[in-house]
Structure 1
Amino acid sequence: MSIHHRMRHAVALTLALLLALLLGAPLASAVAGPASTAHADLDAYIRERMDATGTPGLSYAVVGPDGPVHQRSWGHDGRGAPVTADTPFLWGSVAKPVTATAVMTLVQDGRLALDDRVVDHLPAFRFGGAEHASEVTVRHLLDQTAGIPAAATFKVTDCHDPDCPPPADRISALDDVTPLGPPGAEYAYTSANYLLLAAVVEAVTGRPYAEYLRTRVLRPAGMDGAVADGASARERRLAPGHQLMWGRPAAVADGYDEHGAAYGYTGGALHDLAAFAALQLRRGKAPDGARILTEESVRLMRTEGTLASGEGTGYGFGWRVGGLEAPLDKAVWHIGASPGYSAMLFLLPGQNQALVIQQNLHGLLQDEAIMEVGFGAARILAGGEAPSDAPSMWLYDLTIWGTTALAVLMLLAAARSVQLLIRRSALRTSRARRVMVTALWAVAGALPGVLLAMLVKFMGVEQAWSWFPDLCIALWVAAVAGVLVIGLRLAGAVRPARRRESPAVRENPAVVAAAPGSDVPAVQ
């Protein structure tokens, strides 16, 4: 290259550098064009899902190894304040990989082994009888293969009373639960496994689980604003979450399980959840370079469990592994919910990035529709397209409006029964017909009470109210009205008949004796 060309090249380079310095922001924006377009697509999709589900507040971030590279917050919290990146949410079962991280720090320190028997740390553990309990290990709890059925979750979780017992004092509720099979034979996802892990951590360390978690995981990972117990929830001014009440979100979910951080009551602001995702992308390294997790711990946590039959479980240690269609087939992920809150975390190892989403709305009958925002957004981030046939909330609509219609029907039936009893005007019918009609109303009146009893038996009173407030109200009203209908109809069936008398009968009561089919004795 000639001197002349070198000079022209140098001048051009200098001018380009000066232009870059003067117009740095526009140039940076132009360079980031493709990523910004992808993020704009994410923004649009997430806002669309918020509108579809009526979610009051949401906060999300695309995360790289060094933290968020794109984040947005919309809506309001349960007190009406605008949602920002500093607004705390609860994460539900996204707490499970956080718990597994804490457990693995004890394993790394040699204070706990994956194949330790749970009874060696919790002598009161008697799930399935002494023989079964003696075979359950820490590994079985982590990968959800201890044989505890999913229905047992409600026996030990979602305790919102101020004097709720600590984890070790709840495990006796599992004593009469029948195991699904020997430990390691069946996979069943249940928060009971992770409540037991909290009890194990407390037994090994001699400290409350939340305190150990904060010392060994949350603070080193940069999750300083995380919620892990009642004190931190109050300090962070955690607002009530939202649940649908007859189709409209209401900030009624204000319960908190003081000892539930291990399975679902960990939470925090967007930067806290993003910090945990970044920790995982750095494969266990804290922001200062120190190791919270070893490479081996990270590998074990993301390795799919295998049953005794050789079948894969789709679950590692606190992580769901794969199980989704491409381009998310290699994702490591977890979703979670507590009453009124939901969260999602997707690790995309091939792209070295993650997606975290927090919402202040959840209900079990709307779970699929509410969680779709995470799966669709993760597909977009991974280079795919969100499904065009997003799930609706038809199950919720069918259940709540059907139950409400039943409650209205029972109230109308109760009012009609009062009217009939006062007037005694349904007495022209035969006794057999009255008995048949009364029996039919007894069955109809008992139905709401039976449904409410089944719900309470399956979940417990507190859990049923926490997860299904509007359904419980509708069933309770229907059940009370049904009892009234039964009582009033029975009273009407056994009460003596009073017929409408014609003037001739009133003037000559003896005529009654000649009335065909009369049940009234003739006047002597």
Structure 2
Amino acid sequence: MPTRQRLRRAAALSLALLLSLLLPAPLASAAAAPTVYSELDAFIRERMNATGTPGLSYAVVSPDGPVHERSWGRDGHGATVTADTPFLWGSVAKPITATAVMTLVQKGRLALDDRVVDHLPDFRFGGHEHASKVTVRHLLAHTSGIPASATFKVTDCHDPECLPPAERAAALNDVAPLGAPGTKYAYTSANYLLLAAVVEAVTQGPYSDYLRTSVLGPAGMNGAVADGSSARAQHLPPGHQVMWGMPAAIADGYDGHGAAYGYTGGDLHDLAAFAALQLRSGKAPNGERILSEESVRLMRTEGALRPTGEGTGYGFGWRVGGLKAPLDRAIWHTGASPGYSAMLFLLPEQNQALVLQQNLHGLLQDETIMDVGFGAARILAGGDAPAGPPSTWLYDVTIWGTTALAVLMLLTAAHSARVLIRRPTRPTSQARDFATTALWVMAGAVPGTLLAILANLLGADQARIWFPDVFIAACVAAGAGAALVALRLASTIVMIRRSRSWRAPSRQRETG
């Protein structure tokens, strides 16, 4: 921690201690809280500036709702961000989905050990033998055996004609399981897409409809985004992605069937309302129970793998622990969708929570962008903030390396075009021409090979959605590389023909 920050924090703690000795307990506590809030505000603004985040909104939440909130910056339309500005929450949707699923369990309409195939007869992940053993419990806990690499096969579809959750599940049929259900943990949004399909099968209606009636409405999350129509009604602005080091408001896609795994959203008060619901152990603002105490306990209990008993670090929709003190008892989740990121930390020992949402995200900048939430949660829990944001070296190397490759390929292709139209002044060595051409062909094929690998791992649409600048640079490099290969081959053929025609008169003179 820098010296200035240490001094500032020491002074704040000294002031709080003095007040606690001089003032009655309630007044001392009230006086100490603004000190923490000021430190939170300063830290978050510092991180926001360091990452270039265009807009951010956060709140400290008690069981009764927000006790401190701030909003800064601009949204994707250029409007001032306020507590009423909608954001997408990414995988923070997962504890919300788990809450909806548990309400069905409480009503007896669904059981945790129900087989998925009993509700989705066409479910064939890993073949019939494996699929027949996957339960709702496995989906909630990410122990179904679906590998993380399968995520992009079924998520982030921004086309209006995208398939509903149950039909998307067919893309998992040929995926090899990591192991028998319950024996391996792998975090993947595919599990929660399948939960949406199960909910739709049980309720005979859209997942978003049941989510509103069972969770969002009772919790007071009246402005929440859960489908395409609500996204339009709330005027959801585009999120920002980093393009060559600068945030750009280009992320305006929405998966209308993706609310269960990552496309739920809303304003600051909506996210705070869900945090307050959890701090009240599942009680709605009117005192009625949305979640039973047993459901809350199950959701916050770390799963264990068979047969080793190894902990997974995950409950039902919640990450459980896994962080260094003073966050080692936290119940939490982070999330990201293209252009947006969010974080929710429950601090049960303090009976408070932190919610934070940003209109910036990029997979290659994930650690740097999410650092603001982890640091703020540490401060709120009584710990020290990290000294500085994580390095962006991975993004820098990837984007500038890919861009440099694209520029190199363009310049080389231009040079090859010049060689093609240039008339040789003397004959050239065919062996040397072939060797040189072979080297250029191999070099020109490198960008296309890299692009093919990226598209094969993620799919072309997913690569474009999650890595827009890298994908553009890779496409330019691949196109220029293909042009380079074609030009070099053509140049070699022309050079050989010209060399032969140049040598022909010489041979005639020799024979004459």
Classify the secondary structure of the residue corresponding to 1:60. Answer: strand
Instruction: List per-residue Cα deviations over 1:328-369 (Å, max 9, x = no partner).
Output: 000000000000000000000000000000000001000000
Alpha-carbon displacement from aligned partner over 1:368-405 (angstroms, at most 9, x marks no partner): 00000011110000000012143021111110000000
Per the normalisation by structure 2, the TM-score is: 0.92
| 1:234-258, Cα deviation, whole Å (9 max, x unpaired) | 0000000000111110000000000
Instruction: Tell me the residue number matched to 1:362.
Output: 361
- Counterpart secondary structure, 2:143: coil
Instruction: Please name the residue that 2:278 is paired with.
Output: 280
Give the one of 75, 78, 81 matched to 2:79. Answer: 81
Shift of 1:424: 3.7
1:178 Cα deviation from its structure 2 partner? 0.1
* Aligned-partner residue type, residue 62 of structure 2: G
Counterpart residue identity of residue 288, structure 2? A
What residue number does 2:180 align with?
182
Q: Distance in 2 between matches of 1:132 and 1:55?
A: 44
Partner of 1:455: 454
In structure 2, the partner of 1:49 is 47
Question: Which residue of structure 2 lines up, in the alignment, with residue 393 of structure 1?
Answer: 392
Deviation digits for residues 285-306 of structure 1 (CA, Å, limit 9, x no counterpart): 0000000000000000000000
Once residues 500 and 30 of structure 1 are traced to their aligned partners in structure 2, the CA distance between those partners, rounded to angstroms, is: 96
Which position in structure 1 is the counterpart of 2:341?
342
Cα pair 1:321 1:331 within 8 Å, conserved: yes
Contact 1:194 1:263 in 2 (8 A): yes
Q: 2:491 is matched with which residue?
A: 492
1:455-500 deviation digits (Å, cap 9, x = unpaired) = 1111112111110111111011111110110011111112235469
Q: Per the alignment, do residues 380 and 493 of structure 1 end up closer, same or farther by CA in structure 2, a change over 3 Å counting?
A: same
Query: Over residues 141-185 of structure 1, what are the superposed CA-to-partner deviations in whole Å (9 max), with x where a residue is unaligned?
Result: 000000000010000000000111110110000000000000001
Which residue of structure 2 lines up, in the alignment, with residue 473 of structure 1?
472
Unpaired runs of 5+ residues, structure 2, are 1-25
The residue type paired with residue 405 of structure 1 is A
Distance 1:65 1:373 in 2: 23
Counterpart code for 2:370? M
384-393 or 133-142, which deviates more: 384-393
Instruction: State the alpha-carbon separation in 2 of the partners of residues 205 and 30 from structure 1.
Output: 51
Deviation at 1:31, TM superposition (A): 6.7
- 1:196 aligns with 194
- Deviation digits for residues 89-122 of structure 1 (CA, Å, limit 9, x no counterpart): 0000000000000000000000000000000000
Q: Which residues of 2 match residues 38-117 of structure 1 at below 5 A?
A: 38-117=36-115
After TM superposition, the structure 1 = structure 2 runs for residues 228-307 of structure 1, keeping only pairs within 5 Å, are 228-307=226-305
- Say if 2:428 and 2:499, in contact at 8 Å, map to a contact too: no
479-488 or 434-443, which moves further after superposition?
A: 434-443
- 1:420, 1:426 within 8 Å by CA — same for their partners in 2? no
Residues 499 and 388 (structure 1), Cα distance of their counterparts in 2 relative to 1, 3 Å cut: same
Task: Report deviation, 1:427.
Answer: 6.3
Kept in 2: contact 1:223–1:271 (CA 8 A): yes
Shift of 1:522: 4.2
Greater CA deviation, 451-460 or 214-223? 451-460
Distance (whole Å) between structure 2 residues aligned to residue 39 and residue 379 of structure 1: 12
Secondary structure (helix, strand or coil) at the match of 1:314 reads coil
8 Å CA contact 1:424–1:492 kept in 2: the answer is: no
Paired position in structure 2 for 1:130: 128
Q: Matched residues in 1 for 2:426 and 2:491: separation?
A: 9
Distance 2:266 2:225 in 1: 5
SS of the residue corresponding to residue 346 of structure 2 reads: strand
Q: Displacement, 1:426?
A: 8.7
TM-score of the aligned structures, taking structure 1 as reference length: 0.90
Matched length: 485
Match of 1:225 in 2: 223
2:328 paired residue number: 329
The question of whether the paired residues in 2 share the 8 Å contact of 1:107 and 1:113 is answered with: yes
Are the structure 2 counterparts of residues 523 and 318 from structure 1 closer, same or farther at C-alpha, using a change threshold of 3 Å?
A: farther
Please name the residue that 2:380 is paired with.
381
Distance 1:439 1:211, change over 3 A: same
Instruction: Find the counterpart in structure 2 of residue 435 from structure 1.
Output: 434
Q: Is the 8 A contact 1:407 1:474 kept in 2?
A: yes
| Cα drift, residue 432 of structure 1 | 1.4
Give, in whole Å, the separation in 1 of the partners of 2:509 and 2:208: 80
What is residue 444 of structure 1 aligned with on the other side?
443
CA–CA distance in 1 between the matches of 2:420 and 2:335?
Answer: 52
Q: Does the CA-based 8 Å contact 1:96-1:318 persist in structure 2?
A: yes
**1:20 aligned residue:** none
Equivalent pairs: percent with the same residue?
73
Which residue does 1:21 correspond to in 2? none
Query: Is 1:371–2:397 an aligned residue pair?
Result: no
RMSD over equivalenced CA pairs, Å: 1.9
The amino acid across from 2:461 in the alignment is E
Question: 1:310 matched to which residue of 2?
Answer: 309
- Contact 2:50-2:389 within 8 A present in 1 as well: no
2:11 aligned residue: none
Asked if 2 retains the 8 angstrom alpha-carbon contact of 1:327 and 1:384, the reply is yes
